[in-house]
Structure 1
Amino acid sequence: MTIYSGYIRQPHYYETDQMSIIHHSNYIRWFEEARVDILNFLNLPYQKIEESGIIVPVLEVSCQYKEMIRYGDTIRIDVFVEKYTGTRLDFCYEIRDTNECLLTTGTSKHCFLNKETQRLVQLKKTVPEFHKIFAEYAQLQNKIHEK
C-alpha cells in the first residue's frame, strides 16, 4: 500500500471574490473533492461504500485560513486519516502551494451508518474488507508521520 500523493487543483474564477481571492466557503467543497479523491485512491469510492449499504455523513468540519489563495494559483490538498476507530473516520487537510507553503488547514469528522436504518455500524463486523483498508492505511500514515 502506498501513501496518497495529494489532490492537485487550480481554483476556478467563479470561486473568487472581487479581489480574485478564493471565497472562504469553497474550502469545504475542496476538502470534499480531496476526500473523494483519496477514497478513490484507496479503491473505496463513495459509490462502492454506499452500494454496500453504508453511508458516511459529515459530523463536523473546520477550516483555518493561513494565507490567501488566488485565482491562477495551483494548490495541492494533502489528506490524512487523523483517526479511524471502525465507527468513526476523521480526516485532516493541508492545502499547500507549489512552493510547499502551508496555506490552509482543516478537518472533517465522519461516522459510518447503515443506509436503511441510519444506525451506527462497526465496519469490522459489517464490511471487514473496508475496515482492513482503512485500518492499514491509517497505520501506514501514522508510521510515516512518526519519522
Structure 2
Amino acid sequence: MTMSAFLPPITLTRRDHQRLARTADRLAGQMHPLATPLLRELRRATICGPDEIPDDVAVLDTFVTYRIAGEDRCEKRMLIHPDDHMWPPAELSVLTPVGLSLLGLRAGDRMPLLGSDAAPEACVEVEAVGPRVAGGFVPL
C-alpha cells in the first residue's frame, strides 16, 4: 500500500490548482526541495469550482487554525501562494512544510509534515478553517 493511501483527501479550486501547478513546475526547474511534494499533492487533489468548495477546506487565501501534533498551542494563519504577501505576521506560504501539509485539508484532518526533516511521525492537525479572504479583505 502506498503512502498516499494513508493521507487524508484534499480538495482545491481549479484556479488554485492551476496556479500552484505553474509554480511547482517553475520550482522543479530550480530544484526547490518542496517542488516534488507539491506536485505530488496536486496530482492527488480533487478539483472543483470556486462555488463548490466546502467552507471547511483550507484553500489559498483562507485562514487555518492548526496545531503541530504534540504541541499545546494552536496557530491561526492565512494560507497563501508564495507570491502573495500582504500581511506577513498572519500568513503561511504553501511553500513551507506546514503550509503545504495544510493545503486542501478539512477541519479535523491530520497530515504528516510534507517535505520536512522532522521525525516521520510529525504531523499537523487542522482545528478550524475560515474565514476566506476576498480582494485583500476578510469578510465579516
In the superposition, the TM-score normalised over structure 2's length comes to: 0.25
More helix by share: 1
In the superposition, the TM-score normalised over structure 1's length comes to: 0.24
More strand by share: 1
Structure showing greater radius of gyration is 1
